[in-house]
Amino acid sequence: MRTSVISKMQRSFSIELPSLVPLQLPSRMETHLWYVVPEEVKSKSLLKHYSQLLSPPEKDKVLRMRGDELQKNALLARTLVRTTIARYQTNNVVDPRTLMFKKNMYGKPEVDWQNYKNCDNPPLHFNISHTDSLIACGVTVYVPVGIDLEDKGRKIKHDVLALAERFYSTDEVKFLSTIPDPEVQRKEFIKLWTLKEAYVKALGKGFSAAPFSTFTIQPKAGTTGGYNLCKEKTKKCNGEWKFGLLELADSHYAAICIEDDQASGGAPMRVIVWKTIPFVEDELISESRFL
């Protein structure tokens, strides 16, 4: 273990777990996005500490993943969720091992605050997404959030237009079919995928509540980085949901969707991004370019 970490140890939890640095809550309409690059987490003892944070069912789930790499990523994903949420507690940093999770009636994971007598628990919402090479967790207060990541270079095995025709809305197919360069077309397909997926995850009602072909996401005219959600049948686009699309770590597209509480007057989404290695370091990523 590095000396800087040892000097921070407070022994308030059991053996050797260094303390977590507390965090300021996001403000309304702000999303905090935390990501881990699995390749950067190599220390066996650190991974061992992480595995001590997980509940028994979570450990079982990690073990059911096929192969060391998938198991490591599953471990990092749960670690990221537990440590991030623990750090946002307004009174004391909560022991990440004591956090409990439940699923809403459609299967979307949420924090279960029943163990905490403290009524000041902020109405935190979170959502995670991961690929082979990146794991991210989005956090908001008061409004539901959905995030999705995709590797920018991800190969699509089928014809992109055929996939779009099968799964996307007619307007989205029209948009994609006007793109002459197949590489650009592939990228736009993936960006759309992440936006649509982020919406369904923010909605939290499962895919059957919002099949991809029933809604269109399109860039908002006159803005950079704003998107509209329009229903396929009615073509109505109401502003209930806000979207943001960014490039993360030079390698991924990350889409964020939050419920718009209408109080922000149509202002674009604010996202603050950190790269992190739980218990070790945080790095504020100052430039988030919206796409």
Partner 1 sequence: MASIAASSSTYLQARPRQLAIAANQVKCLSYGRRSHLSFNLRQLPTRLSVSCAAKPETVDKVCAVVRKQLSLKEADEITAATKFAALGADSLDTVEIVMGLEEEFGIEMAEEKAQSIATVEQAAELIEELLLEKAK
* Residue 26: CA count within 13 A, CB half-sphere: 28
CB of 256: closest distance to partner 1 in angstroms?
16
How many residues form the binding site for partner 1 (CB under 8 A)? 37
Q: x/- contact string, 41-80, with partner 1 (CB under 8 A)? A: ---x--xx--xx------xx-xxxxxxx-xxx--x-----
Mention every residue, 6+ apart, whose C-beta is less than 8 A from residue 42.
none
Q: Which is nearer to partner 1, 52 or 121 (CB)?
A: 52
CB of 23: closest distance to partner 1 in angstroms?
27
Alpha helices in the chain (DSSP H): 3-8, 44-51, 56-64, 68-87, 160-167, 170-177, 182-203
CB of 266: closest distance to partner 1 in angstroms?
30
Q: Which is nearer to partner 1, 17 or 141 (CB)?
A: 17
Rounded Cα gap, residues 46 and 280, in angstroms: 9
SS3 content of the chain, % helix, strand, coil (to 5): 35, 25, 40
* Rounded-to-10 torsion of CA 267, 282, 187, 174: -30
The three-state DSSP-derived secondary structure of 103-153 is ECCCCCEEEEHHHCCCCCCCCEEEEEEECCCCEEEEEEECCCEEEEEEECC
Q: Which is nearer to partner 1, 36 or 141 (CB)?
A: 36
Q: Which is nearer to partner 1, 9 or 47 (CB)?
A: 47
CB of 236: closest distance to partner 1 in angstroms?
21
The number of residues making up the chain comes to 291
Give me the helix-helix angle, 170-177 and 160-167, nearest 10°: 160
Q: Which is nearer to partner 1, 23 or 186 (CB)?
A: 186
* Rounded-to-10 torsion of CA 87, 88, 90, 93: -10
CB of 79: closest distance to partner 1 in angstroms?
12
Q: Which of 213, 218, 251, 288 binds partner 1 (CB under 8 A)?
A: 213
Q: Which is nearer to partner 1, 68 or 287 (CB)?
A: 68
Q: Which of 28, 154, 205, 270 binds partner 1 (CB under 8 A)?
A: 154
CB of 254: closest distance to partner 1 in angstroms?
14
In 3D space, the residue among 284, 250, 204 whose CA is nearest the CA of residue 32 turns out to be 284
Q: Which of 39, 40, 132, 282 binds partner 1 (CB under 8 A)?
A: 132
Q: Which of 10, 114, 117, 157 binds partner 1 (CB under 8 A)?
A: 157
Q: How does DSSP assign 38-57, residue by residue?
A: GGG---HHHHHHHHTTS-HH
Q: Which is nearer to partner 1, 163 or 280 (CB)?
A: 163
**Where do contacts with partner 1 occur on this chain (CB under 8 A)?**
44, 47-48, 51-52, 59-60, 62-68, 70-72, 75, 131-132, 150, 154, 156-158, 162-163, 166-167, 193, 197, 206-208, 211-213
